[in-house]
Structure formats: C-alpha cells, structure tokens
Amino acid sequence: MNFPILHIPVVGDGMTIALNAVLHVCISHGLAIGLMGMVVLFQTLTWKGKGQFWADIARKVLGPLVVITTSIGAVTGVGIWVLTGSLAPEGIGALIHLFFWPWFIEWFAFTAEVILLLYYYYNWEKLITTRPGKLAAIGWAYVATSFVSAVLITGILGFMLTPQGWPWARSFTEAYFNPTFAPQCFLRVGGGFAMGTLMMMGWIAWRFTGTPLERGRALRACGIALLLSVAVTAAASYVYFSRVPSTYLTHWKFAVATSYLSQMPDFLPAANVGAVLVLVLAALAAMARPPVLSRLLCIPALLLSICFVMEFERVREFVRGPYLMPGYMHASQITLVESEAMIAENQPLLPRLRWVNTSDKLPPATQAARALFAANCGVCHAESGINGIDQRLAGRSADGINAMLGITQRLAPYMTPFVGSEQERTLLTEYLFQLSSNYSRRNQQATREK
C-alpha cells in the first residue's frame, strides 16, 4: 500500500469513527434538519397570525441549536474526513476521486446552509417584528438547502452498499444514482425530523412557561410532526433495506446486537418494534396535549431514536461486508484486483507496503508480523481491546489459526481475505498465536487471583 497504516489501539478504528459519526449524524440530522425545521415552522406560524408563543418557543431553542450545530456538528462533520483520511487514506482517497463533483457541489450547499442559518439567527431580533415573512423565507431557504445537502451526500453514502452496477459499468451515474439513493434520502430526512420534533417536544413539555393552552397546541403540533416523521422513516427504511443486497444484510443482527444477543433470535426485532411503539406513544401523548406524559416519554423516545441512528449507521457500515468500496476495494484498503493477483501468484505483501512502522525497535520477524496484521486485520481488530484479536483467537491452536487465515472469507462472509505469501502466513500465525496465548495466560492468572 502507498500510505502508512494507522490503527487506533484498544478502541479500534470502527469504534473511533462511530463515536464521531453518530454524534455528527444526531446533530446534523436531528438538530440541523429536524429541530431547525420545527423552529422555522413555529416562526412561520407566528407570521401567519397563529400566536406569538410559537415564535417565542422558536427563539428560545434557536440559540443553543446554532451553537451546537456550528460547533460540535460542523467539527464532527469535518472530523469524519480527518478520521477517514488518517485511518483509511486509500479508501477515502479513491472515493473522493470518484465523487469529487457531488462533494464539491455539496460544499456550496453546505456553505449556503451555514450562511442562511447565521443570517436567520443574527437577524431574528431585527426581522421578527418588522419583516417576519422575510425571516420565514430565509428559514425555509435554509431548510431547503439542508435538504439539498442531505440529498447530495446520500448518493455517496448509498453507493457503499449497493454497487450492483458500478464495478462493471464504471460510470459515475451508476455509482451515484444507486438503488438506495431515494429511500436513504427520505430515511435520513424523516429520521432527522423525528429526532428534531422529539427535542422540541421535550423542551416544550419541560421548559415552556406559557399558558397551558399554548403549551397544549405546541405539543400537539410536535406530536403530529413526530407521527408523520416516524411513518416516513419507517416506510423509507422498509424500501431501503429491501434494496440492500441480501448477502450484505444477512449479518445485520450480529452487527447490531453483538454475538451474545444475536443468539436470541427475537431480541432485535422485538427491541425495534418496542422502540417504534415508544416513539408512536410519545407522538400520541403529545397530540393528547397534557404535558405529563410527554415529559415522561420524550426522554426514552429520544434515547431510542439515538439508538436507531446507531443501529442504522452500524448496519450501514457493517453490512458492506469485507469491502470498503464494494466491487473495488476490501476493508483492508487492498483492491480486489490486487488481492486477486497476489493470491494467484502467491506474492508477498511486505515488499508492497511502502511504510512499515519501525519505531518500536522490535525484532524483524515481530515487526514484519505486526505490519502484516495491520495491513490484513487491523481495520477491524485491535491486537487487544475492543474486538481484540487476542481474545477472538484465545484457545485456538497455532495450526488452527494458520488454517483460519487461509479461509477468512469463507469462515465469515464479512472478513477480508488474507493477502500475503505462505511464508508471511506462517509469520502472522506465530504472532497471532503468541497474542492469543498471552491473553489466555492473563485470563487464567486473573481467574486464579479471584
């Protein structure tokens, strides 16, 4: 590979990216699209003569919303680039070369979005009484650009899952306008609105100090919006998942529920149905107007909607199987064609790695084995820690590990193939066996000490 390889120890690459990405999605979808949409809607209701309290609620929410979206939301968005550039330079580099123009155009939409948001925020006091219609127009323009921004980025994200056409046709349109494009747009926007309405509902139920009648009307509006959002999200999710190739979806339970819970067949479907029920109940409670139930339900409903975001992102990332870019590149950043050529000719991998970490002053064999591990396995497994390979292989014999290395792709459908010569496979086997033996020894010692 052309670039140095970095993997985050203990926490692992996947968890590091997930922590940043989930936070970003919750803010970019929930706040920037959903909550901001509700703010603009409420302000518009005041402009249309439905009462001053709508705008009062919107103004109270707007300040923290702008601070969080422009601080945490924007930085975690750029953070995804920073992280992927560090952890998967070949992957993100290839993706950027393919999708340069949508990303570049999205930059305009993103910039317009920020300018409109700032204009809306800074000019609120000046326009709310004198020109509320103009303020609402700016607000709706913001909502429109945030939708355009979501649409533009969805093509790139959807491509990772549904590549049925692109690897063969090699055209941009095949890659970008993939089968999950439209449902994913509705899913993201609908989900964002659901989160936004829940946040708004929570604020009104807990913090609004207007009359009970005003609070009841505001809660009812949130309830209706939440119910609609949930319905759109559910319908879009159904279409979306029906378009993802079955081979990728086959492991969704394991992806979400871990190996322990995935052994309980009904756990995940029941948990999902239960979560949807809580969301619907929260919507119905808000529509019924008394704030007590909304106060009680908005918190679990919001937490569950965050769980849904985590589940969706986890499934989206995991079910890509062994590919970083399906049909083109494995998760290990080795292209399919290179892996095919090297396996066919029993070529060694080490001479192809332009960078090998020599800073630890390890014996040459260990250094080589660590480089092989980093290149072949490191994207999913840390040596130790979350999904640590030492724990995963604990108790297996060395010859068993060697056999497994040869059949990684057959062993589990989402594992990448081992790339390297027979000699390198033996080298890596010895290293992995040593790691797993150390883990077993530590475990036995810990058991004895107990």
Partner 1 sequence: MQQWTDLFLNMPLPENWMKGLLFITFGLHLLFVLLMLGTAILSLLFFLRDLLRQPSPSQHWNEHVAHSHMGLKSLAVVLGVAPLLIMQVSHSQAFFTVTVLFSYSWLAIIPLLITAFLLFDAFAHKLGSTTWLALVCGIVGVAALLTVPAIFTGALALMERPASWADFAAHGVSLDTDWMPHWVLRYLHIVGAALAFGAAFHLFYSAKNDAPKAVLLRKWLIGALAVQAIIGFALLATILPQMSSPVLTLISLGALALGSALWILRPDSTAAAYRLLALLPLIFVTMLLARQLLQNEAMAPAQAEATAWRAQKAAELAPFSQKALDAFAVKLRTVYDNGDTIYDGACEPCHGLDGRGVGSESHRLRIPATDLAALRIDRDYAYEMIRDGTPGTGMPYFRMFDREKIDALLDTLDRRFSMFAATPPPPRDISPDSLEVWIAACAKCHAANGSVTASGKAMQPPPPDFRRSSVTHERALKIITEGYPGTGMPAYRNQPEKIREDLAIISNSFRAAHNKN
Give residues 146-165 in contact with partner 1 (rule: CB under 8 A): 164
> Which residue in 126, 134, 168, 173 binds partner 1 (CB under 8 A)?
168
> Which residue in 72, 141, 144, 293 binds partner 1 (CB under 8 A)?
72
Q: CB-wise, 96 or 144, nearer to partner 1? A: 96
Alpha helix (H) residue ranges in 244-357: 246-249, 252-261, 267-287, 291-318, 336-344
Give residues 27-56 in contact with partner 1 (rule: CB under 8 A): none
d(CA 253, CA 163): 22
d(CA 14, CA 386): 10
Using alpha carbons, select from 215, 231, 316, 243 the residue that is nearest to residue 279. Answer: 231
Query: Measured from the CB of residue 279, what is the shortest distance to partner 1 in angstroms?
Result: 25
> Which residue in 94, 224, 239, 278 binds partner 1 (CB under 8 A)?
94
Q: Which amino acid is at 272?
A: N
Candidate ranges 82-90, 209-217, 218-226, 304-312; the one touching partner 1 (CB under 8 A): 82-90
Can you tell me whether residue 356 is helix, strand or coil? coil
Query: Measured from the CB of residue 369, what is the shortest distance to partner 1 in angstroms?
Result: 18
> Which residue in 132, 402, 427, 435 binds partner 1 (CB under 8 A)?
402
d(CA 399, CA 387): 22
Whether residue 393 contacts residue 369, with contact meaning beta carbons closer than 8 Å, is answered with no
H or E element at residue 56? helix 52-68
Angle in degrees, 0-180, between the axes of helices 422-449 and 364-376, rounded to the nearest 10: 90
Query: Measured from the CB of residue 307, what is the shortest distance to partner 1 in angstroms?
Result: 19
Determine if 104 is a binding residue for partner 1 (CB under 8 A).
Answer: yes
CB-facing half-sphere around the CA of 7: CA atoms within 13 A: 29
Candidate ranges 47-55, 77-85, 213-221, 298-306; the one touching partner 1 (CB under 8 A): 77-85
Distances (CA, A) of 111 to 114, 117, 147, 154, 277: 5, 10, 13, 17, 38
Query: Measured from the CB of residue 283, what is the shortest distance to partner 1 in angstroms?
Result: 31
Query: Measured from the CB of residue 229, what is the shortest distance to partner 1 in angstroms?
Result: 26
Determine if 277 is a binding residue for partner 1 (CB under 8 A).
Answer: no
Determine if 335 is a binding residue for partner 1 (CB under 8 A).
Answer: yes
Contact characters 129-148, partner 1, x per CB under 8 A: --------------------
d(CA 353, CA 365): 15
Determine if 79 is a binding residue for partner 1 (CB under 8 A).
Answer: yes
